[in-house]
């Protein structure tokens, strides 16, 4: 929605800026504008949690959220759209805004239900989007707790709070894909990044990377992790049990060299074969 009515020019300007960013919202804007309508931008700067800026045709251009506009001293009217709104300004003059409709992945609701089935007690959504957007998505997906209009530091603060509230034996996992999520991915007990759409910073900070970006694979990753830990424990107790048994037999004169070989090499072979079940089970998931 351009102030002067030229929506195509506004989209071209925003796409030229966002082409330099790998944020999912930036990619949405770029995909809506043909390449031939985008101009080159110099001195590009990305401000996490706010937006982007650069020099386009000799003028300083900014595209971002309401907080960025307020930082520039631009007063905006209340937004009525429930979508994500990206405001555009040139030389501190407001030009208009773009609205990006938020829609969750088809399997998102089932993925969250699967997490509850896996024993996840609370699902919390931390987003930089506006309050109306966060509320709508949270209610649609059945999120237990949600917080919107957050800067990266706000997300870290919420993670710190959740870490302080976690019960003994429980952990806090965070799933994210953007540059803004990198500090939170690093701070959480387990950081999970979406590899296909995720930024390099998020992938570097994460403990786990999902390469196909399917939310349902978070529950699958939990299954695989638990199965792997169970196999590791089986191997440890089996190895210790066999060795202790052979030692006891040896102390009463019933042990021999073959028993010692089985307690060493034999146990190793059995442990390796048992560990292979983890690979077979992962493919079954």
What are 119-138's pLDDT values in tens digits?
888 999 998 887 888 888 88
Residue 36, pLDDT score:
87
Kindly indicate the confidence band of residue 283, based on its pLDDT and cuts at 50, 70 and 90.
low
What are 222-238's pLDDT values in tens digits?
888 888 899 999 999 99
Q: Would you tell me how many other CB atoms lie within 10 Å of the CB of residue 116?
A: 14
Mean pLDDT value across the chain? 86
- Report the DSSP pairing between strands 42-47 and 84-90: unpaired
What are 158-171's pLDDT values in tens digits?
999 998 887 777 88
How many angstroms separate the CA atoms of 268 and 47, rounded? 53
- Mention every residue, 6+ apart, whose C-beta is less than 8 A from residue 75: none
How far CA 247 is from CA of 233, 240, 253, 263, 267, in Å, comes to 21, 11, 10, 9, 14
What are 34-52's pLDDT values in tens digits?
888 888 889 999 888 789 9
Of 21-30, 80-89, 230-239, 246-255, the range with the highest mean pLDDT is: 230-239
With 60 as the cut, is the pLDDT of residue 11 above it?
Answer: yes
With 90 as the cut, is the pLDDT of residue 23 above it?
Answer: no
With 90 as the cut, is the pLDDT of residue 6 above it?
Answer: no
With 80 as the cut, is the pLDDT of residue 62 above it?
Answer: yes
- Against a cut of 0.75, is the pTM above it? no
With 90 as the cut, is the pLDDT of residue 3 above it?
Answer: no
């Amino acid at each position: 929605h351009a102030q002067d009515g030229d929506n195509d020019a506004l989209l071209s300007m925003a796409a030229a800026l966002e082409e330099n960013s790998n944020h999912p919202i930036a990619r949405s804007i770029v995909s809506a504008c043909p390449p031939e309508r985008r101009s080159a931008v110099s001195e590009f700067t990305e401000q996490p949690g706010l937006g982007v800026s650069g020099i386009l045709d000799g003028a300083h251009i900014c595209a971002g959220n309401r907080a960025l506009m307020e930082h520039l001293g631009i007063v905006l009217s209340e937004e009525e759209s429930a979508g994500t709104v990206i405001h555009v300004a040139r030389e501190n003059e407001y030009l208009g805004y773009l609205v990006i409709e938020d829609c969750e992945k088809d399997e998102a609701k089932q993925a969250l239900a699967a997490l509850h089935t896996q024993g996840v007690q609370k699902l919390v959504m931390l987003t930089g989007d506006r309050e109306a957007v966060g509320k709508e998505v949270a209610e649609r997906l059945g999120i237990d707790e949600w917080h919107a209009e957050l800067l990266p530091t706000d997300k870290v603060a919420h993670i710190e709070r959740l870490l302080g509230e976690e019960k003994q034996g429980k952990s806090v996992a965070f799933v994210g894909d953007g540059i803004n999520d990198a500090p939170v991915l690093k701070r959480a007990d387990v950081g999970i990044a979406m590899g296909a759409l995720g930024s390099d910073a998020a992938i570097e900070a994460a403990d786990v990377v999902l390469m196909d970006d399917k939310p349902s694979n978070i529950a699958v990753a939990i299954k695989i992790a638990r199965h792997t830990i169970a196999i590791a424990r089986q191997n440890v107790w089996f190895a210790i049990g066999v060795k202790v048994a052979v030692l006891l037999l040896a102390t009463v004169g019933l042990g021999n060299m073959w028993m010692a070989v089985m307690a060493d090499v034999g146990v190793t072979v059995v442990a390796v074969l048992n560990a292979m079940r983890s690979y077979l089970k992962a493919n079954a998931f």
